[in-house]
Amino acid sequence: MEKFVYYAPTEIVFGREAELQTAAQVKKYGGHKVFVVYGGQSAVKSGLIDRITANLKENGLEVLAEGGVVPNPLVSTARRMVQSALAFGADFILAVGGGSVIDTAKGVAHAVASPEHDIWDFWSGTKVTKSLPIGTVLTISAAGSETSNSAVLTNDTKEPPTKRGINTDFNRCRFAIMNPELTMTLPKYQIGAGAADIFMHTSERYFAAILGNHLTDEIAEGLFRTIVHYGPIGVREPDNYEAMSEIMWCGSVSHVGLTGLGSKGDTPRDGDWACHQLGMAISALYDSTHGATLTAVWAAWCRYVMDENVGRFARFARKVYGVTEEDDRKAAEAGIVKTNEYFISLGMPVSLAELLGHEPSDEEIEKIAVECTYDRTRTIGSFKSLAYDDIVAIYRNCRN
């Protein structure tokens, strides 16, 4: 086995009516003055914000709720919330929503704990050394932020905007309330984008530079098979409890590190993560839905890097889709085709033209590649390290 460190401290409260335990969880982790972060209107319309607020107040907690987080969450929104949370004297940050809300809550928690810093400092190299406790009531299965050590924000005060992530154990939620019924109001597109993202959090770890932990591979392959089976059912039948609960648990397990134990390469993260970097650059410039950016680039990335380890792609095809082809290269290609069929069944794009609604020009692709490489100052990926020219080639290969 390859060496690993595994740390996953988030308490999971899963199942119907789990949200009734929100106050008990906040108290357990020391909260008294709870700053609730939410998104647009979905959690207000469903009555969830009212129910959570009532649950907290009935249990003697002080509450201030503030909404307005948008998908591809903005640092400007988080800055506003930091001011509100400081004025309120918050000692606990509760996210009610999905990845965008949770990541904003994480940023708010760090900046409230260290008000001498601007929140973007932490996304620009300043180490997070303390934070407020954070909890989550999850309303969409996708980003896995409820269990991950990551947070991703877009700096909309820069021109062009830039979207960046940070990894720190201070990003770990104390608890995650996960009631699959809360995800049944999601638009089909968001269920599909979520099921794509969940697949990708496993793929990014599965196609890694360092491999060799058998159980890790088996867990990853089981997760792939589960999300490939239940993802499309969730899109077709959002009120199917079995499907929505399997998707929800896949979302957390997929991004809690379990599917990549022992795959740590020479980057500080487990896994490869090139597709996420390719996708985040697109979201920064076009505000595209995260999961959809990943499905648009995945096959082109696979074909570009496959020669590094064709056997790995062949194993993926055989274990996930039951491909019987004996030739590794043919099996690998069959796995890529089947995955694109899965993405299509989720209603997701499999090219940049489908994602953006137009075929991007060479100039547009170069602009995205500049954002992806932080102005040509970095490479991405560990399965195969990719520099600016590689990235341009991959974007061109999925242009239409």
Which parts of this chain interact with ligand NZQ (CB under 6 A)? Answer: 39-43, 71-73, 97-101, 103, 139-140, 142-145, 148, 150-152, 182-183, 185-186, 190, 194, 197, 255, 276, 290
Assign 377 to helix, strand or coil: coil
Report, in Å, the least distance between residue 66 CB and Zn ion.
25
Contact 107, 153 (CB under 8 A): yes
Q: Which is nearer to ligand NZQ, 190 or 213 (CB)?
A: 190
Q: Which is nearer to Zn ion, 31 or 349 (CB)?
A: 349
Residue partners of 151: CB distance under 8 A and separation at least 6 = 102, 103, 106, 107, 145, 165, 166, 171
The tokens for 190 are 């968001």
Partner interacting with residue 42 (select from Zn ion, ligand NZQ, none; CB below 5-8 Å by kind): ligand NZQ
DSSP-assigned letter for residue 127: P
334 vs 158: CA distance, rounded Å: 42
**DSSP-derived 3-state class of residue 221:** helix
In the list Zn ion, ligand NZQ, none, the entry touching 186 (Cβ below 5 to 8 angstroms by class) is ligand NZQ
Q: Going along 207-337, which residue ranges are E strands?
A: none
* Residue 255 contact partner, candidates ligand NZQ, Zn ion, none, CB within 5 to 8 A by sort of partner: ligand NZQ
Q: How far is the CB of 294 from Zn ion (least distance, A)?
A: 6
262 binds, among ligand NZQ, Zn ion, none (CB under 5 to 8 A by kind): none
Q: By C-beta, is 12 or 186 nearer to ligand NZQ?
A: 186
Rounded to a whole number of angstroms, the minimum distance from the CB of residue 290 to Zn ion is 6
Smaller CB separation from Zn ion, 25 or 72: 72
- Neighbour tally for 318: CB within 10 Å: 19
97 interacts with, out of ligand NZQ, Zn ion, none, CB within 5 to 8 A per kind? ligand NZQ
Instruction: Tell me the closest approach of the beta carbon of residue 125 to ligand NZQ, in angstroms.
Output: 18
**Burial letters for 169-194: b for 16+ Cβ neighbours within 10 Å, e otherwise?**
ebbbbbbbbbbbbbbbbbeeebbbbb
The interface partner of residue 257, options being Zn ion, ligand NZQ, none and the CB cut-off 5 to 8 Å by kind, is none
Q: Is 374 left (phi over 0), alpha (psi -120 to 50) or beta?
A: left
Residue nearest to Zn ion (CB): 197
| Residue number, 188 or 378, with CB nearest to ligand NZQ | 188
Using CB under 5 A, list all residues that contact Zn ion.
Answer: 197
- Note whether 125 and 268 are within 8 A (CB): no
Is the Cβ–Cβ distance between 164 and 126 less than 8 Å?
no
Q: Give the residue with the Cβ less far from ligand NZQ, 276 or 315.
A: 276
CB of 149 to ligand NZQ, least distance (A): 8
Out of ligand NZQ, Zn ion, none, what residue 194 binds, judged by CB under 5 to 8 A for its kind, is ligand NZQ
Pick 321 or 349: Cβ nearer ligand NZQ: 349
Q: C-beta of 167: minimal distance to ligand NZQ in Å?
A: 9
β-sheet with 175-178: strand ranges across: 11-14, 175-178, 134-138, 92-97, 33-38, 62-66
Question: What Å distances lie between residue 242 and 148, 180, 202, 230, 246, CA to CA?
Answer: 24, 9, 21, 9, 6
Return the number of other C-beta atoms located less than 10 Å from residue 162's C-beta.
22
41 vs 361 by CB, closer to ligand NZQ: 41
User: Nearest-CB residue to ligand NZQ?
Assistant: 99
What is the closest distance, in whole angstroms, from the C-beta atom of residue 329 to ligand NZQ in the complex? 30
Q: Which does 180 bind (CB under 5 to 8 A by kind): Zn ion, ligand NZQ, none?
A: none
Q: Please count the residues of the chain.
A: 400
State in angstroms the smallest separation of the CB of 291 from ligand NZQ: 6
**Alpha-carbon gap, residue 235 to 195, rounded angstroms:** 9
Question: Residue 316 and residue 207: Cα distance in Å, rounded?
Answer: 9
**CB of 95 vs ligand NZQ, minimal distance in Å:** 9
The residue among 201 and 318 lying less far from Zn ion, judged by its C-beta, is: 201
Partner that binds at residue 234, options Zn ion, ligand NZQ, none, CB closer than 5 to 8 Å by kind: none
**Nearest C-alpha neighbor of 255 from the set 46, 34, 78, 102:** 102
